[in-house]
Amino acid sequence: MAELLDAEALRLVEVAPPVLPPGVRTAMDREWDEAVLANPALFDGPVAVCAGLSRESPDSLLVSWSRVTYRYFALRRVPGTTVLRSLFVSVVQPTEDGRVLVGRMSSSTAAPGRWQFPGGSVEPPDGDEPLDEHALRRHAAVELAEETGVDLPATGLTRCLVTHGEDGQVGVHYLAPPLPASSLRQRFTALAAAETARGRAPEFDRIALVGSAAELPDLTGPHVAYLEPVVRWARGRVGS
């Protein structure tokens, strides 16, 4: 389960990445190589991880983050090591009748079969660009387009929640304007067809429109920890 946090302000500060002893790095590299053998689609690109979460004031959250690469997540399978915590964004995309869109990760992803909102791990900015709320919102808009075919300007998204999971993961969640259910299905179908025509597997192999947390058990497969509490939050707050 994940804790839902409200905050009017969100500040992000970069800190140094963890220093790994040689033995731990060797074990991490070994676990990563085995994961790539099992799923060649895995890519060791840059990623931002959460180094800490605290309140600067009752209405302000501070997120400390570090630059690493995806192989660092292989530390989760190395006994006795500090687990790196994900920093991710997601988008609550409602329909006009108050349901919300969720998707199932395809077999080509790092979490095949898992149900979640559109979104993904945060990537660190290039050069001297800051990782701030504007960057998070842009990243969320990109993820929404890439996974569902819904192409919105970043300014069309509104931050609605921050979640803090029991495993330390921190998610920044944005609310999109409601769209007709038929439009969401059509856009996803068109996206999946276009990706397949290019010889690529879409990130979602299926979407569903969920009206309440009571419907989640009908979705076969694992769910991200934040899915149920965010669906409960969304009920009665989105749509008509």
Mean pLDDT of the chain: 92
pLDDT at 239: 52
Domains of the chain: 2-234 (3.90.79.10)
- Pick the closest to residue 46 from 29, 32, 67 (CA basis): 67
pLDDT < 70: residue spans in the chain: 239-240
- What's phi and psi for 137, nearest 5 deg? -65, -40
What span, in angstroms and rounded, lies between the C-alpha atoms of 56 and 66?
19
Interatomic CA distance for residues 97 and 20, integer angstroms: 50
Among 91, 109, 103, 105, CA closest to 40:
109
- Kindly report the pTM of this predicted structure: 0.92
Looking at residue 240, its pLDDT comes to 46
Residue 209: which of 191, 187, 192 has the closest Cα? 187
Tell which phi-psi region holds residue 127, choosing left (phi > 0), alpha (psi between -120 and 50) or beta.
left
* pLDDT (tens digit per residue) in 178-221: 999 999 999 999 999 999 999 888 999 999 999 999 999 999 99
Which residue in this structure is represented by tokens 């769209």?
Answer: 179
Nearest to residue 118, comparing CAs of 81, 82, 157? 157
